[in-house]
Structure 1
Amino acid sequence: MTAATTVPAGSLTQEEPRARFVDLLAAEWLKMWSLRSTPWLYAITALAVIAFNAGTAYDHYKYWYQYNEESRTDFVANGIPLVDAFTMNSAMVLVLAVAAIGAVSVTGEYGTGLIRTTFTAVPARRSVMAAKVVVLASAATVFGALVAAASFASAQAILSGRNASVSLGHPGALRVVVASALLAPVAALAGLAIGTLIRHTGGSVVGCVVVLLLLPMVLSERRHLTAVLQHALPFSGWERLVSSQTQRSHDLFPWTAGGAWTVYALWALVAAVVTVLAVHRRDQ
């Protein structure tokens, strides 16, 4: 006869494996697209942005012969086809909508209490928020690229009827498309960071409007300090990248395109860091 040994009940249960980062990415992807408002907001924003740009190009097409000969001759030289490719109104719509998507992607979880379930299932909060950053930035980058390319193509197709269009190889054209495309992920990450800090949908959207749209308008370029502060904002960086040499000739405090790209990079990086670190020791 062999003696029976009693095995403690606790030793029979295996410890749950830690969630892999790829699993967190998949979960955040499902959570983002499970919100009905997300695809609708992306679609409406895309239509609004393309419509603003196409409408401006069509206005130039329709009233082409009402301009004087000099204006028609210098239309391309003054960079107007590139202005029509992505107007300021369309950029404001893009920034507001995509920043709101970024904010709601985290405030929606706080509002429904889903964030508590998420952090209970995955105690590594930083990893969860890092996955959210990657998913949002990837989706916003693809969205921005598609919208910028469609806006450029539609505007130039309309202007081609007056022989006033430019190709992507035209000086400054590629920079306008890339800067407009990357404005989307920068705004989305900024909205995500603001939403993580405020954790309330209404307050986060107001914060996005104030930081991303109102501050560039309030700060003046007539003083060096306020000009520097204005140049440090992403919307001002976009304006610098899409403006032509003729439009910048009257700037009191000019700055370089490299500085504008640096503003883009720093805003995206700081927003990602704030999003990841803000939830580490904070109550849900």
Structure 2
Amino acid sequence: MTTLASVSRTTPVAGPPARFGDLLASEWIKMRSLRSTPWVIAFTVLFVVGSAAVATLSDTAARSGPAEFLPYDAYPAAGYLTLILVAGSMGALTVVSEYSSGLIRTTTVAVPARGSVVLAKAAVTAAVWTATGTIASTGSFLVSQAVLNGRHAGALITHPGVFRALVASALLAPVCALVGLGLGVLLRHAAATMVTSVFVLLMLPTMFSESNRWSADIKHTLVSAAWKRLIETWERGPDSLAYTATVPGSWIVYVLWPLITVALAVFAVRRRDV
């Protein structure tokens, strides 16, 4: 005869399912427990803001005429391509570090709802990198204006296109981090994920130009190309030989890349073994 005591010893008693808030707290603890994370973020922000200062100083020194606000000084490619690389890599490491260490098995045993785990990782990653991108973007704008104000050439945030450039540069970090996270879930291998994220976010756009329609259409669907269009504070003239992306289309690219990659990641973890 089976007793109640023997049943309790052999059959684990299921606890209440983890709430999404608990998953968010868990992912936040994992992220902040990595000592390298705050240092990487701090040095990245310093580099991005510093590159804006250097670009603005160099441009104003090279101009013989009056200085003016230029988005590529406040948001230089050197700083923001670095931000793309770091954000995409750190987003990927949020996932692949657990696969490489085997911690993902413990996570999935504790929380069988794997899709919820991915969504919690995505929410924490988006929050951290939105804050990082906002600090970097605002700092870049302010430091460039500090340089230009010395020559009476600063631009207000209400200047046409300035606020859009600031927001687009701030959101570039979470967009790339979420793309990296989604690729990390899909590939589950650190080296493969890093190479793929660098190729998709940085190298692939350089393979296409805006001189041909088909090439421009492909390029305009990529994140870095969308960012470059959104920070432009001028409209290209009708005599331009390039096929220019639209501003609404570039915002759509910002939305679709993280949405699709995270959605594919959620679908993948629900369909396969760890």
TM band (smaller chain): over 0.9
Could you say what secondary structure the match of 1:245 adopts? coil
- Deviating 4+ runs (over 6 angstroms): none
Q: What CA deviation, in whole Å up to 9, does each residue of 1:188-218 have, x standing for no partner?
A: 0010111111212122111111000111111
Is the counterpart of residue 264 in structure 1 residue 263 in structure 2?
no
**TM-superposed deviation, 1:256:** 1.3
Aligned to 2:227: 238
TM-score by length of structure 2 reads 0.92
Structure 1 vs Structure 2: percent identity of aligned residues? 42
Which residues in structure 2 correspond to 1:96-175 (within 5 Å)?
96-175=85-164
> CA, structure 1 residues 163+112, in 2 after alignment: closer, same or farther (shift >3 Å)?
same
8 Å contact kept, 1:176–1:242: yes
Aligned to 2:191: 202
Structure 2 letter corresponding to 1:67: R
Q: Which has the larger radius of gyration?
A: 1
Aligned to 1:274: 264
> CA, structure 1 residues 244+251, in 2 after alignment: closer, same or farther (shift >3 Å)?
farther
8 Å contact kept, 2:209–2:219: yes
Aligned to 2:25: 26
RMSD: 1.8
Aligned to 1:49: 48
Q: What CA deviation, in whole Å up to 9, does each residue of 1:155-211 have, x standing for no partner?
A: 101111111211111111101100000111110001011111121212211111100
Q: Distance in 2 between matches of 1:130 and 1:169?
A: 36
> CA, structure 1 residues 253+150, in 2 after alignment: closer, same or farther (shift >3 Å)?
same
**TM-superposed deviation, 1:7:** 6.2
Question: Pick from 187, 196, 200: which aligns with 1:211?
Answer: 200
Q: Distance in 2 between matches of 1:204 and 1:240?
A: 27
Q: Distance in 1 between matches of 2:257 and 2:237?
A: 23
Aligned to 1:8: 4
Aligned to 2:63: 67
**TM-superposed deviation, 1:8:** 2.1
Structure 2 letter corresponding to 1:282: R
8 Å contact kept, 1:212–1:235: yes
8 Å contact kept, 1:190–1:267: yes
Aligned to 1:3: none
Structure 2 letter corresponding to 1:161: G
8 Å contact kept, 2:145–2:154: yes
8 Å contact kept, 2:85–2:198: yes
Could you say what secondary structure the match of 1:280 adopts? helix
8 Å contact kept, 1:248–1:254: no
> CA, structure 1 residues 96+266, in 2 after alignment: closer, same or farther (shift >3 Å)?
same
Count of aligned pairs between the two proteins = 269
Structure 2: segments with no counterpart, 5+ residues: none
**TM-superposed deviation, 1:49:** 0.5
Structure 1: segments with no counterpart, 5+ residues: 1-5
TM-score by length of structure 1 reads 0.89
